[in-house]
């Protein structure tokens, strides 16, 4: 028993030492770049002119690296689908009152009623202004989902429309891909944002399709997170 | 980057290490979950200081908000089900 333990802790120590060595080598050789590398310099110089977006990060995520973003959203969709699939095996019929839930307190219920509209509004603000201010579809979607989370916490027996969330999710996914294909047809390539006019720099209706795509991403991400939370909330092992 | 920002980032970095240590060593699961959420919260402040507000928002909303509550949901479910079994 003791010899097994020491062998195990020896291996743990050796692994930790190796990891430490690797990170030490990384940290010791680190020198800050004196100038931006070629890609970054290109983005910094040309993003505002080419995409009309004030927030360069958003422009890179949605336009230059739009395909990667589509991939990320797809990964999130797969996660939500798998969570729902696994948990649907354990769905048990349940009364309207919820089984074994403690009633949430007065404080939480009242606070939720006050805060949820503000949280939802803030989430929408974050993804609608994704091309102007920090934030965007993913952040806004996560904020929307935390509003839903608060609703679920305050009222555990509450049921949301699965069909509605599913429809929002799939509709925004389809329109997202359709906008990407419209980019091939009407502009320079897949997910090119110049299918719409670039507008005046810094106004809310500018940067071509970026606000539109970010709204779709926000709705999609919010719906996916909400459906994960809901499947966790609404199923119960028999 | 000013000296104050570097100092603040270093302080929050130490706080991250402290919270991570608490999360690893504590015996109580809710405290561990809260400490892990605290790691994310401090990390998002560090991202903000290091001029990455986009990453900071994601970390705050997903890392410290949704993940923490996801843990609590699962924890509550495990408790209810083990109570039903008995």
Which pLDDT band holds residue A139 (cuts at 50, 70, 90)? confident
pLDDT at res. A97: 43
CB-CB under 8 Å, A139 with B61:
yes
B38 pLDDT exceeds 80?
Answer: yes
Q: How many residues does chain A have?
A: 238
**DSSP structural state of residue A64:** I
What confidence tens digit (pLDDT) does each residue in B64-86 have?
888 888 888 788 778 877 777 66
Residues A44-69, mean pLDDT to the nearest whole number = 81
Residue A156 has pLDDT above 80, yes or no: no
Residue A1 has pLDDT above 70, yes or no: no
Chain A residues with a Cβ under 8 Å from any Cβ in chain B: 55, 57-58, 99-100, 126, 134-136, 138-139, 142-143, 145-146, 149, 153, 225, 228-229, 232-233, 236-237
Average pLDDT over residues A184-188: 76
Pair A116, A151: CB distance under 8 Å: yes
Interface test with B, best of A139, A225, A226 (most B CBs within 10 A): A139
Q: Give me the pLDDT at residue A103, please.
A: 66
Which of left, alpha, beta for A100 (phi over 0: left; psi -120 to 50: alpha)? left
Nearest CA in chain A to B58: A139
CA distance A36 to chain B (A): 16
pLDDT value for B73: 79
Q: For B73, which of A134, A138, A232 is closest by C-beta distance?
A: A232
Q: What is the pLDDT of residue B16?
A: 92
Instruction: Give A185→chain B minimum CA distance, Å.
Output: 31
Q: Which of B57, B73, B81 sits opposite A139 (nearest CB)?
A: B57
Q: Please list, residue by residue across A57-74, b when 16 or more beta carbons sit within 10 angstroms of its beta carbon and e when fewer do.
A: bbbbbbbbebeebbeebe
Residue A81 · residue A223 · CB < 8 Å: no
Question: Does B66 sit within 8 Å of A100, measured CB to CB?
Answer: no
Q: How far is B31 from chain A (nearest CA, A)?
A: 19
- Please tell me which of the candidates B62, B70, B80 has its beta carbon nearest to residue A100: B80
- Please state the domain extents for chain A: 56-88+104-238
**Angstrom distance (rounded) from CA A208 to CA A210:** 6
Between CA A131 and CA A127 the distance in angstroms is: 8
Among the residue ranges A17-31, A126-140, A201-215, the one predicted with the least confidence is: A201-215
Mean pLDDT score of chain A: 80
Q: B49-54 — which CB contacts under 8 Å span 24+ positions? A: B49/B5, B49/B8, B49/B9, B49/B12, B50/B9, B53/A134, B53/A135, B54/A55, B54/A57, B54/A58, B54/A134, B54/A135, B54/A136, B54/A139
Q: Nearest Cα to A57, choosing from A143, A127, A131?
A: A131
Please give, rounded to a whole number of angstroms, the shortest distance from the CA of A72 to a CA of chain B.
Answer: 14
End-to-end CA distance of chain A: 39
- ipTM confidence score: 0.78
User: How many Å apart are CA A231 and CA B70, to the nearest integer?
Assistant: 11
Q: How far is B62 from chain A (nearest CA, A)?
A: 6
Which member of B54, B66, B83 has the closest CB to residue A149?
B66
Helix (H) or strand (E) holding A170: helix A162-186
Report in angstroms the alpha-carbon separations of A105 from A11, A117, A153, B65: 49, 19, 10, 20
**% helix, strand, coil for chain B, step of 5:** 90, 0, 10
Mean pLDDT, residues A22-43 taken together = 83
Does B66 lie at the interface with A, CB-CB under 8 angstroms?
yes
């Amino acid at each position: 028993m003791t010899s097994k333990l020491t062998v195990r802790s020896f291996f743990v120590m050796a692994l930790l030492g190796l990891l430490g060595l690797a990170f030490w080598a990384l940290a010791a050789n680190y020198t800050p770049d004196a100038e931006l590398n070629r890609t970054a310099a290109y983005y910094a110089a040309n993003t505002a002119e080419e995409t009309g977006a004030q927030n360069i990060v958003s422009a890179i995520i949605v336009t230059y690296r739009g395909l990667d973003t589509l991939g990320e959203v797809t990964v999130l969709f797969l996660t939500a689908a798998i969570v729902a699939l696994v948990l649907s095996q354990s769905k048990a019929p349940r009364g309207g009152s919820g089984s074994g839930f403690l009633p949430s307190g007065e404080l939480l219920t009242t606070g939720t009623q006050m805060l949820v509209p503000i949280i939802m509004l803030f989430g929408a603000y974050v993804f609608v202004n994704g091309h102007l201010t920090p934030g965007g579809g993913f952040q806004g979607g996560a904020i929307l989902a935390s509003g839903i989370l608060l609703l679920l916490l305050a009222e555990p027996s509450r049921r949301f429309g699965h069909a509605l969330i599913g429809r929002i999710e799939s509709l925004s996914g389809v329109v997202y891909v359709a906008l990407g294909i419209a980019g091939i047809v009407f502009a320079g390539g897949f997910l090119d944002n110049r299918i719409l006019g670039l507008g005046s720099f810094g106004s809310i209706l500018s940067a071509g399709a970026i606000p539109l795509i970010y709204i779709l991403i926000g709705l999609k991400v919010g719906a996916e997170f909400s459906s994960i939370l809901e499947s966790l909330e609404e199923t119960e092992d028999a | 980057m000013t000296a104050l920002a570097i100092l603040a980032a270093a302080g929050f970095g130490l706080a991250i290490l402290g919270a991570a240590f608490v999360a690893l060593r504590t015996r109580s699961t809710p405290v561990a979950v809260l400490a892990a959420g605290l790691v994310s919260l401090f990390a998002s402040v560090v991202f903000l200081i290091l001029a990455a507000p986009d990453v900071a928002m994601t970390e705050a909303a997903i890392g410290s908000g949704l993940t923490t509550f996801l843990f609590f949901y699962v924890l509550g479910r495990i408790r209810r089900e083990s109570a039903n079994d008995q």
